[in-house]
């Protein structure tokens, strides 16, 4: 059996940001190694928010181990060897028992909060070009997901078309946009039409939004920093999913594919049942031209990723075997690398082998049209 991670990450190199400051000055995100005398390297956003580079590439280490903090304090120098070296990364895949990865941004998960479109466009163009170069070592084993500057529709379409010509197979969009113009707003229709025509999956990942609060109430706190915010983070993606379904987007554009990444899945079976009932109770809050239950749109148009969610595995049939895809979250600190195989053995106890293969390999292969003949033989 082979395993393919449908939720891993880049950690963007310095060069992604190097030329931005010369063009935009303080308007641009930058890498800084002198942040108030703090050690390590930091991504500094124009808002002043600072993200420690080193924390994003220490998979296999515990945060409560003082030696891990020493690595984090080294910034880029403390990252796992394969994080910036794609050739070494292929060996780290085999070390974990997997044969390939779909990779999302790390640092650039936070740049959607920049409201300067010119800067955002340039940042994502740089990211997408760098990711294509990184993945060129083994394109079937390293699938890089591009970034699009939504909510600007015209800019997002232009970059999607440009990057796709370079070989990008899928794109990330904000999981949260302003409630003044949700994803069901007609302004987005040209973008949905373009994405449907190109056949590229669109990912909405945890922590990614046009505001850092993910649309959650202020008293909950931000998803990435507080107990309430993190625990309730899936509320962000439920909100956007309902807009796409009940706002008629998936009725108008039935071939769109969405990926909901790193929210885990144990809650989804209940949400689907409750959403169906809510639409029955309050039909006036949905468009009047839906032809299916909300859960049926989910089963047709969505994939949701899981990492080590035993409850999600138990409710896999209610969520849908075709709607689940596993990921190891490498190289982030809460990744299960290099222990994916024993953890999967535990959470998949009692799951038929054919279903394990579908959830942990085939669904990712089908979603991104990966040539399996170019993958290593079974690694576990």
Nearest to 6 by CA among 366, 267, 379: 366
pTM: 0.96
Q: What is the CATH number of the domain that holds 345?
A: 3.20.20.140
What integer pLDDT is reported at residue 379 of this predicted model?
A: 60
Is residue 303 in some structural domain?
yes
Nearest to 292 by CA among 272, 267, 316: 272
Residue 237's CB is within 10 A of a number of other CB atoms, namely: 27
* Two tokens, residue 200: 């590229």
Domain count, the chain: 1
Is residue 54 in some structural domain?
no
Instruction: Tell me if 297 sits within 8 A of 25, measured CB to CB.
Output: no
Nearest to 5 by CA among 308, 315, 267: 308
Please give the residue range of the domain that contains residue 136. Answer: 5-19+81-374
Is residue 361 in some structural domain?
yes
Residues 117-134 have a mean pLDDT of 98
Which H helix or E strand runs over 43? strand 42-44
* Two tokens, residue 62: 């515990």
Is residue 219 in some structural domain?
yes
Backbone angles phi, psi at 66, to 5 degrees: -55, -30
Q: How far apart are CA 301 and CA 360, in angstroms?
A: 19
Backbone angles phi, psi at 349, to 5 degrees: -60, 125
Residue 272's CB is within 10 A of a number of other CB atoms, namely: 24
Q: What is the pLDDT of residues 293-312, one digit of tens each?
A: 999 999 999 999 999 999 99
Is residue 117 in some structural domain?
yes
Please state, rounded to an integer, the average pLDDT across all residues of the chain.
96
Q: What is the pLDDT of residues 147-204, one digit of tens each?
A: 999 999 999 999 999 999 999 999 999 999 999 999 999 999 999 999 999 999 999 9
Is residue 248 in some structural domain?
yes
pLDDT band at 224 (very low <50, low <70, confident <90, very high): confident
Is residue 379 in some structural domain?
no
Q: Which residues contact 22 (CB under 8 A, 6 or more apart)?
A: none
| Residue 253 predicted with pLDDT over 60 | yes
Q: How far apart are CA 133 and CA 104, in angstroms?
A: 15
Is residue 47 in some structural domain?
no
Query: pLDDT exceeding 90 applies to what percent of the chain?
Result: 95
């Amino acid at each position: 059996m082979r395993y393919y991670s449908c939720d891993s990450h880049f950690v963007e190199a310095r060069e992604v940001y190097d030329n931005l400051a010369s063009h935009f000055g303080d308007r641009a995100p930058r890498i800084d190694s002198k942040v108030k005398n703090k050690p390590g390297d930091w991504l500094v956003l124009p808002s002043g928010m600072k993200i420690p580079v080193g924390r994003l590439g220490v998979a296999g280490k515990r945060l409560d181990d003082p030696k891990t903090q020493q690595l984090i304090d080294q910034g880029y120098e403390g990252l796992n060897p394969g994080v910036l070296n794609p050739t070494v990364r292929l060996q780290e895949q085999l070390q974990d028992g997997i044969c390939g990865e779909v990779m999302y941004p790390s640092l650039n998960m936070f740049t959607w909060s920049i409201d300067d479109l010119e800067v955002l466009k340039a940042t994502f163009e740089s990211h997408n070009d760098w990711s294509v170069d990184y993945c060129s070592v083994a394109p079937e084993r390293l699938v890089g997901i591009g970034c699009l500057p939504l909510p600007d529709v015209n800019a997002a379409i232009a970059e999607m078309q440009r990057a796709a010509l370079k070989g990008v197979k899928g794109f990330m969009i904000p999981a949260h946009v302003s409630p003044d113009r949700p994803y069901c707003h007609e302004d987005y229709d040209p973008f949905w039409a373009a994405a449907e025509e190109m056949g590229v999956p669109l990912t909405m990942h945890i922590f990614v939004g046009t505001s850092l609060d993910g649309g959650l109430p202020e008293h909950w706190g931000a998803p990435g920093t507080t107990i309430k915010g993190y625990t309730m983070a899936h509320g962000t993606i439920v909100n956007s999913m309902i807009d796409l379904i009940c706002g008629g987007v998936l009725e108008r554009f039935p071939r769109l594919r969405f990926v909901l990444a790193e929210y885990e899945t144990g809650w989804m079976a209940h949400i689907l049942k409750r959403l169906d009932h809510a639409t029955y109770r309050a039909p006036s809050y949905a468009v009047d031209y839906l032809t299916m239950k909300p859960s049926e749109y989910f089963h047709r148009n969505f994939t949701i990723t899981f990492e080590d969610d035993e409850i999600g595995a138990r409710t896999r049939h209610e969520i849908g075997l075709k709607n689940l895809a596993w990921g190891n979250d490498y190289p982030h600190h809460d990744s299960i690398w290099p222990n994916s195989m024993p953890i999967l053995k535990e959470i998949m106890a009692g799951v038929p082998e054919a279903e394990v293969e579908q959830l942990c390999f085939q669904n990712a292969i089908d979603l991104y049209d990966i040539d399996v003949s170019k993958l290593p033989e079974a690694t576990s």
